[in-house]
Amino acid sequence: MSPAFQMNVNDPAFWTMLMTIITAVSFVVIAVAMTAIALAARRVVTTVGRVEQRVEPLIGRVGALTDQVREVGEQVQLMSGHLATATMHFSESMALIKDEVRELKEVVGLSAETARDHVERISRSIDQTHEQLMGTTVFIQSKLVAPAREMAAIMAGVRRGLEVLVAPSPKSIDQTYAEEEMFIG
């Protein structure tokens, strides 16, 4: 090696120069690293810019979808309120209908029972009326019709008897044939 590059390790200038070289190399390494970082950051910024350009329409769509979802949510909330009200009214109506049906069942049951009672009363009345009519018919037959028939028979007998008693005397046989011969002819 040349004597110019020969330095003694015990010489403070050696250490100063070594430190200066290390510092310079460190600055160069830092500069290279910073350049690499700057290039990487530039690439990242460019990529982010491209991604941002591609994502912006999607973000707009997502915003529009968010608005639509919000509107749909409001409509669903409104409809669920209406459905809750309708369900409440339906439940109240069903309760009223059940009460009316129960009352109608009671009325129909009472009406059927009353109708049965009336039918039984009418049936008994008809049976009693039939028995009274039959009794009256037997009474009229025995007390009025039979004596009236007997009286009519007696009166017919009396009439015949009176006719026989009051009748003119019979003609003789000769007179009877002579008058009849005149009409034969």
Is 104 domain-assigned? Answer: yes
pTM of the model: 0.35
Mean pLDDT confidence for 102-124: 83
| Residue 81, CB-side half-sphere exposure with 13 Å CA sphere | 5
Q: Say how far apart CA 21 and CA 60 lie, in whole Å.
A: 56
Query: For 131-171, how does the pLDDT look when each residue is reduced to its tens digit (9 = 90+)?
Result: 888 888 888 888 888 888 888 889 888 888 888 888 777 66
Structure confidence at residue 12 (pLDDT): 82
Is 4 domain-assigned? Answer: no
Domain count, the chain: 1
- For the chain, give the mean pLDDT: 81
Q: Say how far apart CA 67 and CA 74 lie, in whole Å.
A: 10
Is 124 domain-assigned? Answer: yes
In this structure, is the dihedral angle defined by the CA atoms of residues 80, 84, 86 and 90, taken in order, positive or negative? Answer: positive
Is 180 domain-assigned? Answer: no
Is 45 domain-assigned? Answer: yes
Domain span holding position 20: 11-166
Is 24 domain-assigned? Answer: yes
Is 69 domain-assigned? Answer: yes
Helices (H), the chain: 12-140, 146-166, 173-183
End-to-end CA distance of the chain, in Å? 208
